[in-house]
Amino acid sequence: MSTVTLADAKAHLSHLIDQVVAGSEVVITRRGKPVARITPVATPRKPLQSLAAFRARMPKARKPSAELIRELRDEGY
């Protein structure tokens, strides 16, 4: 993480953005106090291609869900 003054940030914004794209964080200060932080944008998760394909990868349940829910209810959960 690097720290720069507001004046330096104005003068070298494109260089600071290059640092952020590379994975670094930049803190901008005004009169010695931090006022802003530039961080990389989180990469979005991949959307599910198919719900059926997702379910096919899940391990098989040993019991039907209705039976499992009844057991949990009877045990007081």
Residue 67 lies inside a defined structural domain of this protein? no
Q: How many domains does the chain have?
A: 1
Q: Are 4 and 28 within 8 A, CB to CB?
A: yes
Q: What is the pTM of this model?
A: 0.55
Residue 11 lies inside a defined structural domain of this protein? yes
Domain around 20: 2-38
- Average pLDDT, integer, range 6-30: 95
Residue 56 lies inside a defined structural domain of this protein? no
Between 32 and 53, residue with greater pLDDT:
32
Residue 30 lies inside a defined structural domain of this protein? yes
Residue 53 lies inside a defined structural domain of this protein? no
Residue 22 lies inside a defined structural domain of this protein? yes
Residue 27's CATH number? 3.40.1620.10
pLDDT reported for residue 55: 85
Residue 21 lies inside a defined structural domain of this protein? yes
pLDDT tens track for 30-51: 999 999 999 998 888 888 788 8
CB contact set of 4 (below 8 Å; sequence gap of 6+): 12, 16, 26, 27, 28, 29
